[in-house]
Chain A
Amino acid sequence: MTGSQTTFRARLFARRATAGGFLLLCLLATALAIGVLAVLLVDMTREGIGRLSWDFINSFPSRKPEQAGIKAALFGTLWLMGLTAAFAVPIGIGAALYLEEYASRNWLNRIIQTNIANLAGVPSIVYGILGLALFVRTMSLGRSVLAGSLTMALLVLPIVIIASQEALRAVPSSLREAAYGVGASRWQVVFHQVLPAAMPGILTGIILALSRAIGEAAPLIMIGALAFVPFVPRSPMDGFTVLPIQIFNWASRPQAAFGKDAAAAIIVLLAVLLSMNAIAIILRNRFQSRSRG
């Protein structure tokens, strides 16, 4: 074996070793994220499963950890989700339709588009401050579920808009041209052809936006959602609490028994979120396989 051959082999070995080591690192990094998720889920289940019962779901909060429940928080979360959707979905889809189907490329529309991208990155607590000043104080809605939902709607609006825009962009332009070709007006094209075609993608975005809304606590702490709510909201003007706030409240108490309550409430919240996530994934897969076929 000549010297150059030996050098070549040594180099080749070094290159292969580096490549192998790098792949190992990549695998470890991927496993880290998945592993932490698994540890988190197992830990919450172990902590909280003992407290999980129908009584826990159907009881109001209490000073005694073993009697406390999440009824008020669960109903508050449902109210918040419904009202947030009522505001954010039509406005979000409307904005996306304008930007994708109507807007010409002028400076104003460019500003709107850039602005939406930037709004998506504003910390949620800043939305809370806006909600406190605008809805709770200026519009005197008080610390109501309506004020909370309006705040949350502003927070998730960029998510709905961006997801809907992506869904609209994926609609083939041949569909629009065919509709225009048979004499449809722009709105008829948009409403009867483009929107139905983009609907699965839009729905996925809406579900993701709503799961963001029901997991957020910081903006609602700002507008003063209460932690001790021994009632179910009966109207949009009632005070309310939601699961994340109830969890935060229990988690920040020193007694270990409240920690168990927090973990049990987390199981309920994660169960709701994971089912919403599953629906979104199913919708997207159906959409993808249909548009391919």
Chain B
Amino acid sequence: MTVEAIEATGQGSRIKRARPLETRLRRGREAAIKAVLFLCAFISVVTTLAIIFTLLQETVGFFREVSIVEFLTGTKWTPQISPKHYGILPLLSGTLLVAAGGAIVALPAGLLTAIFLSEYASPWLRSIVKPVLEVLAGIPTVVFGFFALTFVSPQIVQRLFPGTQVFNAASAAIVVGIMIIPLVSSLSEDAMSAVPRSLREGAYALGSNRFEVSVKVVVPAALSGIVASFILAISRAVGETMIVALAAGATPNLTWNPLESVQTMTAYIVQVSLGDTPQGSIEFRTIFAVATALFVMTLAMNVVSQYLLHRFREIYE
């Protein structure tokens, strides 16, 4: 009911009617606010749908010209040179090589850091170390990439293995590993801090020392949270772009030798978008096909990681 409608009903009833109107206006406003806030939250769903639609639209076009079997099992990736080959395995092996190398650096280092912070460090030491790790987590990946190219590759990798090229998977992998240490350490530490004190106290009462409590009680109790952090970190390494674009090289290379130059899926996408590939061409569509593969891989890892975290929370909270 509008204000005019109230005035039309006459002065006498005005005071009586004003209250329901106010209430109704208030309800309307409350509902409108709720709807606007819901739309804000729903944008995230729209974003996901838009990502999937965008990727699929061009990927379907790509698979009209290239067979999906060749894409998934081909061992040569040469979309820009004839004879053209569209086998994603060299890009996949490059990606996995860097991610595995990163994991070898980050998983033990991150877990040990988390154990140290959760079980050994005093509150004072924790208040120093945690912000420093957050700074490490906040370093832009392009800075890490420059560091991999100008420091890790010439000063470490090339010194240990003379004759290695400047661009190699190992330097990129080491620095990707450093980059994901804070992710592993902070998520694992959260998981270990959520383990109830009584479990630790029980183990101490039986005569265990701090090492035994940490490794035989706390880590197993927090295992699903720790594994979730591992998977999330590997997924981050798979999707990492600037470090590999700068330091790993630009040669699709089906190899497991980390001292060779490789190209990852993300680095390929960057390489194509830096050149002037015409829209609608098959070369242009390759980046969507590669991005779809990348999206599916990281999404699968994230879903597993979320599931593990969720289950972990249900146990202790």
Contacts and interface: CB of A to CB of B under 8 A. Distances in A.
The reply to whether chain A is a binding partner of chain B is yes
A27 B134 CA distance: 18
B54 A270 contact: no
Given A123-B294, A217-B142, A23 B120 contact: yes
A241 to B, nearest CB: 13
Interface SS majority for chain A: helix
Nearest to A38: B132
A64 B146 CA distance: 20
Interface in B81-135: 108-113, 115-117, 120, 129, 131-135
Interface stretch (A50-58, A127-135, A168-176, A231-239): A127-135
Contacts of B110: 29
Contact of B30 (A30, A114, A187, A222): A187
B295 interface: yes
Given A30-B116, A33-B181, A158 B44 contact: yes
Nearest to A263: B146
Instruction: Name, among A126, A130, A161, the residue most crowded by chain B CB atoms within 10 Å (CB to CB).
Output: A126
Contacts of A178: none
A248 B142 CA distance: 6
A95 interface: yes
Contact of B109 (A22, A33, A187): A33
Contact of B291 (A44, A112, A126, A217): A126
Contacts, number: 258
B112 A26 contact: yes
Interface in A216-251: 216-218, 221-222, 224, 244, 247-248, 251
B295 A27 contact: no
Given A29-B109, A130-B51, A130-B54, A16 B209 contact: yes
A26 B115 contact: yes
Contacts of B143: 40, 44, 215, 247, 266, 269-270
A86 interface: no
B142 A123 contact: no
A53 B257 CA distance: 43
B18 interface: no
Interface string A149-185: 0000010011001000000000000000000000001
Interface residues of B, number: 91
Contact of B270 (A15, A40, A92, A221): A221
Given A19-B211, A251-B149, A116 B141 contact: no
B44 A97 contact: no
What's the interface size class on A, roughly?
Answer: 35 or more
B44 A161 contact: yes
Contacts of B131: 277, 281
A186 interface: yes
A97 B40 CA distance: 9
Contact of B134 (A217, A248, A277): A277
Nearest to B250: A252
Interface in A85-135: 90-95, 97-99, 102-103, 109, 111-112, 114-119, 121-130, 132-134
A115 B48 contact: yes
B153 interface: no
Contact of B274 (A25, A91, A111, A221): A221
Contacts of B36: 94
Contact of B246 (A15, A114, A119, A248): A248
Instruction: Name, among A15, A118, A259, the residue most crowded by chain B CB atoms within 10 Å (CB to CB).
Output: A118
B14 interface: no
B161 interface: no
Interface stretch (B2-10, B64-72, B298-306): B298-306
Contacts of A111: 45
A189 to B, nearest CB: 11
B112 A25 contact: yes
Interface of A: 15-16, 18-19, 22-23, 25-30, 32-34, 36-37, 39-40, 43-44, 47, 90-95, 97-99, 102-103, 109, 111-112, 114-119, 121-130, 132-134, 137, 154, 157-158, 161, 185-187, 208, 211-212, 215-218, 221-222, 224, 244, 247-248, 251-252, 259, 262-263, 266, 269-270, 273-274, 277, 281
The 7 closest A-B pairs by CB, nearest first: A123-B239, A215-B140, A94-B40, A29-B112, A19-B211, A98-B37, A26-B116
Given A32-B109, A125-B266, A270-B143, 5 more contacts: A94-B39, A118-B302, A129-B287, A157-B44, A247-B146
18 contacts: A28-B112, A29-B109, A29-B113, A30-B112, A33-B109, A40-B151, A94-B36, A94-B39, A94-B41, A103-B41, A124-B241, A137-B279, A185-B30, A186-B34, A217-B140, A218-B266, A222-B270, A251-B142
Interface of B: 26, 29-30, 33-34, 36-45, 47-48, 50-51, 54-55, 57-58, 108-113, 115-117, 120, 129, 131-136, 138-147, 149-151, 178, 181-182, 185, 209-212, 214-215, 232, 235-236, 238-242, 245-246, 266, 269-270, 273-274, 279, 287-288, 291, 294-295, 298-299, 301-303, 305-306
